[in-house]
Amino acid sequence: MSTSAPAPEAPDTADSTLEAMPSSPRDFLRRFTQGEFGSLRVLLILAVIWVIFTIANDRFLTALNLTNLTLQIAATGMISIGVVLVLLLGEIDLSVGVVSGLCAAIMAVLSVKHGWPPVPALLAGILAGTCIGLFQGFIHTNFGIPSFVVTLAGLLGWQGAQLWVLGDTGTININDQFIVDLVGTFFSDMVGWVIAVVLIVVYAALTLSGRMQRVKAGLEAPATGVLIFRIVAVAIPVLATVYVVNQDRGLPLALVILVGFVIFFDWLTQRTRFGRHIYAVGGNEEAARRAGISTGRVRIAVFALASTLAACGGMLAASRLLAVNQSSGGSDLLLLAIAGPVIAGTSLFGGRGRVWSALLGALVIGSISNGMDLLALDSDVKYMVTGAVLLAAVVVDAATSTRRRRAGRV
Q: Give the model confidence (pLDDT) of 81-140 as tens digits.
A: 999 999 999 999 999 999 999 999 999 999 999 999 999 999 999 999 999 999 999 999
Percent of the chain whose predicted confidence (pLDDT) is above 70 = 88
**Residue predicted with more confidence, 382 or 394:** 382
Whether 240 maps to a domain, the answer reads: yes
Distance CA 401, CA 33 (A): 10
pLDDT digits (tens, 9 = 90+) for 226-260: 788 888 888 998 999 999 999 999 999 999 999 99
Distance CA 360, CA 337 (A): 12
- Phi, psi torsion values for 324, nearest 5 degrees: -130, 135
Among 302, 333, 338, 258, residue whose Cα is nearest residue 101: 333
- Residue 14: pLDDT above 80? no
Whether 279 maps to a domain, the answer reads: yes
Among 68, 65, 336, 53, residue whose Cα is nearest residue 183: 68
Mean pLDDT of the chain: 86
Whether 267 maps to a domain, the answer reads: yes
Whether 121 maps to a domain, the answer reads: yes
Whether 1 maps to a domain, the answer reads: no
Between vectors from CA 350 to CA 346 and to CA 355, what angle results, nearest 5°? 40
Whether 39 maps to a domain, the answer reads: yes
The pTM of the full predicted model, rounded to 2 decimals, is 0.88
pLDDT of residue 350: 79
Domain with 193 in it: 16-22+35-406
Exposure string over 95-117, b if 16+ CB within 10 A, otherwise e:
bbbbbbbbbbbbbbbbbbeeebe
The three-state DSSP-derived secondary structure of the chain is CCCCCCCCCCCCCCCHHHHCCCCCHHHHHHHHHCCCCHHHHHHHHHHHHHHHHHHHCCCCCCHHHHHHHHHHHHHHHHHHHHHHHHHHCCCCCCCHHHHHHHHHHHHHHHHHHCCCCHHHHHHHHHHHHHHHHHHHHHHHHHCCCCHHHHHHHHHHHHHHHHHHHHCCCCEEECCCHHHHHHHHCEECHHHHHHHHHHHHHHHHHHHHHHHHHHHHCCCCCCCHHHHHHHHHHHHHHHHHHHHHHHCCCCEEHHHHHHHHHHHHHHHHHHHCHHHHHHHHHHHCHHHHHHCCCCHHHHHHHHHHHHHHHHHHHHHHHHHHHCEEECCCCCCCHHHHHHHHHHHCCCCCCCCCCCCHHHHHHHHHHHHHHHHHHHCCCCHHHHHHHHHHHHHHHHHHHHHHHHHHHHCCCC
- Residue 8: pLDDT above 90? no
pLDDT digits (tens, 9 = 90+) for 264-289: 999 999 889 999 999 999 989 999 99
Minimum mean pLDDT range among 58-67, 307-316, 320-329, 397-406: 397-406
Name the domain count of the chain.
Answer: 1
Whether 371 maps to a domain, the answer reads: yes
Task: Report the pLDDT averaged over residues 62-74.
Answer: 94
Per the CB < 8 A criterion, the answer to whether 329 and 99 are in contact is yes
For residue 312, the domain's CATH number is: 1.10.3470
Per the CB < 8 A criterion, the answer to whether 386 and 339 are in contact is yes
pLDDT digits (tens, 9 = 90+) for 188-231: 999 999 999 999 998 888 888 878 888 887 877 777 787 888 88
Distance CA 376, CA 367 (A): 14
Among 308, 309, 311, 300, residue whose Cα is nearest residue 277: 300
Whether 7 maps to a domain, the answer reads: no
